[in-house]
Amino acid sequence: MQKFDQLIQEAQARIAASGSLVALDEVRVHYLGKKGVLTEQLKALGALPASERPAAGQQTNQAKHAVTAMLDARRRELEAQTLSAQLTAATVDVTLPGRGQEPGGLHPVTQILERVQALFASLGFGVEEGPEIEDEFHNFDALNFKPGHPARAEMDTFYLKDWPLLLRTHTSPVQVRALLKHGAPLRIIAPGRTFRHDYDVTHTPMFHQVEGLLVDKEVSMAHLRGVLTDFLQRFFERDDLRLRFRPSYFPFVEPGAEVDINCIFCDGAGCRVCKHSGWLEVLGCGLVHPNVLDACRVDPRRYSGWAFGVGIERLGMLRYGISDIRMNFENDLRFLRQFR
């Protein structure tokens, strides 16, 4: 009995004196480890005469439970101390201003694309897409570009090594793909990236266009004019916006026209943006050439159509007053943040 009381007292003192979890574990091993004092005691029970065994066993077990309980209590104490020491060390200054959150935003080009898409969706136009890597057939031949005609060379085309592949120079080839796929009648717009070998304040080698195409019976220039007027007035949010159709040449339309709007910066009085003409050029359009309908297996005697192509960056520059097209692609946050 006495021997165990002494052992427990001694253990109590050693446990209380352990200043760390590591030191405490050494004490545990000393008493309860494989070769610990109490473990050895339990093993030794077998050597006792049978009459003494139960009492001795009971005492040894009691001592073991007592030591285990003291070890557990001290471990919890030490753990609590470690935690509170960590908490005091890691002070949080609750008066510091928060880091704040920077909301992201859509790129201005994306915003314009979505706006154009929404306006044409309200007129029942579906969205069609085509590949950025095109071939000569869709980009030129089917669009009535004759071999050797200067219009073909004027496109500043990026040709790929594997002829007849190229980076599409406009979204007009999607007219061909859509007609071959769906046939007439058809009413679509085709937004996407286009590529030309050109670089200055109004040109980047990659830019975006939206193509519009309507093929049906008895489609006329008057219809085209009506739709474009409605589109541009709604796009620029000006009911009084005026359109001017200037005859122009594109191989895939006849007649072809370029459309100007009265300058939204000076209202026609003349300024730097409109080069003192009072007009801004916004898009190209016309009635689909019968040769194009033929190439797309649509009978030009039964159907006619109109088409237009508009530069998205150009629309953005006019709507937001951006003076250099290249700003769109420089990823300067000071520029991009203005469109959030």
Are 239 and 229 contacting, i.e. CB atoms less than 8 angstroms apart?
Answer: no
Q: Residue 307 CB, nearest distance to ligand DAH (Å)?
A: 3
Q: Which stretch binds ligand DAH (CB under 6 A): 6-14, 71-79, 124-132, 284-292?
A: 284-292
Q: Residue 335 CB, nearest distance to ligand DAH (Å)?
A: 26
Element (H or E) spanning 181, and its range? helix 173-182
Which of 167, 285, 298, 318 contacts ligand DAH by CB under 6 A? 285
Nearer CB in complex with ligand DAH: 170/208: 170
Which of 7, 308, 312, 328 contacts ligand DAH by CB under 6 A? 308
Element (H or E) spanning 89, and its range? helix 53-89
Distance CA(22)–CA(40), nearest Å, equals 23
Which of 128, 134, 135, 211 contacts ligand DAH by CB under 6 A? 211
Nearer CB in complex with ligand DAH: 287/322: 287
**What one-character-per-residue DSSP string does 201-266 give?**
TTB-SEEEEEEEEEEETT--HHHHHHHHHHHHHHHTT-TT--EEEEEE--TTEEEEEEEEEE-TTT
Distance CA(233)–CA(119), nearest Å, equals 11
Which of 67, 174, 189, 253 contacts ligand DAH by CB under 6 A? 253
Which of 284, 314, 317, 328 contacts ligand DAH by CB under 6 A? 284
Q: Give the β-pairing of 133-135 and 243-248.
A: unpaired
Which of 138, 170, 177, 289 contacts ligand DAH by CB under 6 A? 170
Q: Site residues (CB under 6 A) for ligand DAH?
A: 170, 172, 211, 250, 253, 256, 284-286, 307-309
